[in-house]
Structure 1
């Protein structure tokens, strides 16, 4: 899988190797600030992200207290995992071929999901579309694909077979 995507990226011509676009990392994040007191919910989300990514997730904590959100400094506000190298390409392959086709009435992502640096950000509201996954509680995840050295991002994402229209 890794060699397949690397061969596709190498076909994307550049004069120098420094200018070659690189998919740097994929970040999977789920916000749990509403359920910060429910330990079973937090453990379920932690185990779910661990299962989805095949890597141990990290708790993200609040940096400062905000009284309007009833949030104290150090409270758990989310769970995330950063995938790089081999695990990143395995998850990307699973995302493209299994998870995204299971989304109902899906035609492709719009161009506004990509920022000016070429990073792609999108969310999945319900994780029941992930196969072989025991779904007791519905939750959503955000997925960020971070790319380096990218100017022509639409052509690049079409080259690595990401569904963008």
Structure 2
């Protein structure tokens, strides 16, 4: 059991049950999975960029990243069906808890002029998506060896039914939302 998962069991679950008055422990929201995604527009022409992104995302997530490919051809973007357009990885269980802990406690505080995360990223069902402009905020990335700074989307999927429940869960787990 990871440190954050133990914190969830001992402190977050009772706090959520008290605040929302859940009758069954199965109603209490929890994290389902965390999805990391890098969209690489020029990756369709540059195969080295895709390989670099796979290696860096694998370092960040501690799990092998998968190349995503175009589903349709789009002539205006010089894109053909099946060309590589991005990289993604989905984390579950212990890997998810470790990554979330690293994101909240190590990576986000390294963002320049960090004042918290806006809570606009909720989707109406308790899931939260966060966009990061520089993947170099993660401690695994050696900034001297990075050729291209890439952005990424991080989606935290929860079992919460509403945005209020999801925000409360993430706040109790340490997500630094703006006041």
Shorter chain as denominator, the TM-score bin is over 0.9
Q: More deviation in 153-162 or 72-81? A: 153-162
Tell me, yes or no, if structure 1 residue 143 matches structure 2 residue 146: no
Task: Report deviation, 1:158.
Answer: 1.6
TM-score for the superposition, normalised by structure 2? 0.86
Gaps of 5+ in 2: none
Gaps of 5+ in 1: none
Instruction: Give the aligned CA root-mean-square deviation in angstroms.
Output: 1.4
Task: Report deviation, 1:139.
Answer: 1.1
Aligned to 2:172: 159
TM-score for the superposition, normalised by structure 1? 0.93
Q: More deviation in 78-87 or 102-111? A: 102-111
Which portions of structure 1, spanning 4 or more consecutive aligned residues, are displaced by more than 4 angstroms? none
Task: Report deviation, 1:104.
Answer: 1.1
Structure 2 CA distance for aligned equivalents of residues 8 and 122 of structure 1: 25
Tell me, yes or no, if structure 1 residue 18 matches structure 2 residue 26: yes
Tell me, yes or no, if structure 1 residue 40 matches structure 2 residue 43: no
**Mapped contact 1:8–1:160 kept (Cα < 8 A):** no
Residues 41-98 of structure 1, C-alpha deviations (whole Å, 9 max, x = no match): 1111100000000001111111111222221111111100000000000000000110
Matches within 5 A, 1:14-93: 14-93=22-101
